Every structure is written in C-alpha cells, then in structure tokens.
Structure 1
Amino acid sequence: MNSKIVYLSIIVLLACLTISEGMNLRGLGVDPRCRCIETESRRIGKLIASVEIFPPSPHCKDTEIIATLKGTMQEICLDPTAPWVKKVIEKFLANKAP
C-alpha cells in the first residue's frame, strides 16, 4: 500500500513539473525575447494609427518601437535611429503628456 502512494506521488510531482516547464511565458505577460527582428526605416508616418514604445528589459537590450498601421491594423517595428521615427516618437509623447 505504501509503495502505491509513493509511486502515485512521484507521478503527480512529475506531471506538475512537466506542466510548469511547458507553460508559455508569453501567456504570463512576459516575452522571453525581443519583439522586433527587423525594423522599418522607410517613411510611413501617414499610415500609422498608433505607436507603442517598449524600453530595454532583461529580455531585450533594445528599445523597440511598434507601430500599428491604419486600416490593416498590421504591426510594424520601426527603426528607432531613423530621424522620422524620432519625430513620430516626439509627437506621440507630446500627445500623451497631461
């Protein structure tokens, strides 16, 4: 009887470990890597509906700027070093200020 309890406890423990290891960090609100693999440097300012700025984090050393396009709602990563992107960020931050 005791051996059955030990075996059952081991199986339950292994199942819990397997489930917790298999959990997706993104589902927990944590992105384990950079969101932007490629960035857009062409001028697309008039197509932008909204902009999100993600500062450097433990998961990504880069500042990431993600624009959502009008109409298609497609998300595009912008090149933070492009002069026109810097202007878009300034406008975005000016509109956010109380």
Structure 2
Amino acid sequence: MRFIAGCLLLLLLVSSLSPAHGVLEANNVYLRCRCTKTASLPISLKFIARVSVFPPSSGCSVLEVIIWLKNKSALCLNPKLPWTQHLLENIHNLVKNSQLPAPVKTKKT
C-alpha cells in the first residue's frame, strides 16, 4: 500500500512540473508582464545604453518600454508619457535614417 501511495505521489509531482514555461521563456514568449513599476522622470539619452519595446501579447496586455542604463541597471518607462513617446520617435528616426555599412569579409592567410 505504501508503494502505491508513493508512486501516485511521485506521479502527481512529476506531472505538475511543466516544462512549457521554461521553453516559452527561452523563445522570448513570456506569460506575464516584465514591468511591475514604471519610472516617470525623464532620463537623458547620454545615460541610456539600450532600449527594448515589447508590444502587448497574450501574457501582458500593455506596451512595455524597458531601457538599460550605462550603469547596467534597467528601468521600465511609462509608454503613455510624452517624453517616452518622444524618445521612441527619436530612436525610430535614428534607425530609419541610418545606413549600415555592408559587411566586409577578410581573407585569412
């Protein structure tokens, strides 16, 4: 009787550990929002190292704007604020107007 109860308990435990959550996060599909709080103070461009914009999805119904500062910290911005929209427009214009050089292949000898 103990053996059957132990097997059933082990089966229940194994079946409750779903690998789907890890697979979805590995493929950049999140089941929840990344931002719980948003910063409302303007941040100067000279402190920003990287900007990521995550559109609404099935796991999070809001647009998320995350910036990484040069000191390696990350901040979530409120996408409804005028200065955040202005920042996104500036970045969009920079990307649209920039011309990336063609890749150069070097021959190794």
TM-score of the superposed pair, with normalisation by structure 1: 0.71
CA contact (8 A) 1:49 1:68 kept: yes
List per-residue Cα deviations over 1:5-47 (Å, max 9, x = no partner): xx9xx98xx4864553585342443211000100001011232
CA contact (8 A) 1:45 1:88 kept: no
Greater helix proportion: 1
In structure 2, what residue type is equivalent to 1:64?
E
1:95 — aligned with what? 94
List per-residue Cα deviations over 1:63-86 (Å, max 9, x = no partner): 00000101x121100011111111
What are the ranges of 5 or more consecutive residues in structure 1 without an aligned counterpart?
A: 1-6
1:84 — aligned with what? 83
1:73 — aligned with what? 72
Where 2:52 maps in the other structure, the secondary structure is strand
TM-score of the superposed pair, with normalisation by structure 2: 0.65
Assess, with a 3 A threshold, how the Cα gap between structure 1 residues 89 and 22 changes in structure 2: closer, same or farther: closer
Summarize the alignment of residues 1-98 of structure 1 with structure 2, pairs less than 5 Å apart. 14=11, 17-21=15-19, 24=22, 25-46=24-45, 47-70=47-70, 72-97=71-96
Query: How many residue pairs are counted as aligned between the two chains?
Result: 88
**Identity across matched positions, percent:** 33
